[in-house]
Amino acid sequence: MSDPRRAVPRTDTVLADPRLAEAAGRLGRAQVKSAVVEQLAQVRRAALAPEAVVDAVLDALPAGGTSLRPVINATGVVVHTNLGRAAYSPAAVDAVVTAAGPTDVELDLATGRRGRRGAAALAALAAAVPAAEAVHVVNNGAAALGLAAGVLARGRRVVIARGELVEIGDGFRIPELVESFGAELREVGTTNRVRFEDYERAVDDSVAFVLKVHPSNFRVEGFTSAVPVSALAALPVPVVADTGSGLLQPHPRLPDEPDATTTLLEGAALVTSSGDKLLGGPQCGLLLGRREHVERLRRHPMARALRVDKLTLAALEATLTGGPTPTAQALATTGPELLARASALAEALGAEAVPTSARVGGGGAPGVELSSAAVALPEGLAEPLRLGAVPVVGRVHEGRLLLDLLAVPPEDDARLLAAVRACT
């Protein structure tokens, strides 16, 4: 009897196949070779025919140079942290592709000399928030607040209400973040109530600024009181407001969500926020406010460690100057529109369309329910859909899988339909 292992092709023979040579050019020889070795092991176990190795390798390799896979977000959460938060607008996607090569990100082409890094992106941000005397961008929202604490309050105190000592994501907490940059916190008030007099008594020569944090991922109801920025601005120290969600102007669908423009007009000296939430752009941290503070932060050595790359600057500029972002489009879509789409999909699948309540997500607008609609399917389809060729992530509710359409662009309905059909 012949040894079946003699039928296993050599690794270099498989790698010489022209189809794999093309893949190696895209993904790198090491990644392709690893996939070949894995499939040859399958042949040795008699789980794969020798002549099927190349096809199996091609199926196993990612379509691009990353292991990240595009996902259809049918969770009903517009800004889903686990799915990368805000989806880019078409303009932002094009901008990232353009910026991938050599760019004039820090060069003045007219003079041939060094220019202001990301000048166009910063100008677009300044234009979007005229109430800000100056603006700066760092690599995320926590970095923006941390830079403010580390530069303006290192070795000094920051006054904050106890009810605003929030935990953000993955176990990170605002008080620990601020203290890690060298500031000392002075807490005022109680968990549910704080008054202006509490702040007034706490402010002395050791205090660098008052910090106002929007509790963006929870809501306290009942016997509560808080002090608005407009009142805190009367204190003899600056007010730094962390608005969190990246809303630059008031939004009619989110009346209780603080925005940067209103917060600055109410007297905040500095506003920090995120770019990848309600703004609908790339991950970055926004610093907006009085010129003296923003410039001090921008020129501090710590700012160098927190700066953003050219891809982020390009995406941010396009987000601010281009067409509506997917986040903005989702917030502008009504329940009846979504129910009509859900009904059409449900009819094609022999399923049911149901009205749902969706959420903003990403630590924004806690407690706000957004009218939406979903296709209801058997709960058992949740895993097959996640693992499909086009991954679809829904949510399981009361024994059914709901594919909520709020964060699914209409142009993806056909892909969603095909993905479900492939699993049924």
324-359: per-residue pLDDT in tens?
Answer: 999 999 999 999 999 999 999 999 999 999 999 999
pLDDT greater at residue 368 or residue 280: 280
What pLDDT is attached to residue 5? 57
What's the pLDDT band for 6 if we cut at 50, 70, 90? low
* Residue 377, pLDDT score: 97
Which position has the higher pLDDT, 240 or 44? 240
Contact 309, 392 (CB under 8 A): no
- Under the banding of pLDDT at 50, 70 and 90, the label for residue 216 is low
Percent of the chain with pLDDT over 70: 98
pLDDT of residue 331: 95
Residue % of the chain over a pLDDT of 90: 76
| pLDDT band for position 151 (cuts 50, 70, 90) | very high
pLDDT at 223 over 80: yes
Residue 179: which pLDDT band, with cuts at 50, 70 and 90?
very high
Q: Is the pLDDT of residue 144 over 50?
A: yes
| HSE-CB of 334 using CA atoms within 13 angstroms | 3
Residue 1 has pLDDT above 50, yes or no: no
CATH code 3.90.1150.180 region(s) in the chain: 72-84+328-423
Which is more confidently placed, 1 or 411?
411
Separation in Å, CA 23 to CA 35, 64, 101, 265, 322: 11, 9, 22, 55, 34
Instruction: Find the mean pLDDT for residues 87-99.
Output: 97
Does the domain made of 72-84+328-423 have the CATH classification 3.90.1150.180? yes
pLDDT at 342: 98
Query: Within the chain, which residue ranges are assigned CATH 3.40.640.10?
Result: 90-323
More confident site: 410 or 52? 410
Q: Which fold has domain 90-323?
A: Aspartate Aminotransferase; domain 2 (3.40.640)
The single-letter DSSP state of residue 164 is G
Q: Is the pLDDT of residue 244 over 90?
A: no
Say what the pLDDT of residue 318 is. Answer: 98
Is 180's pLDDT higher than 50? yes
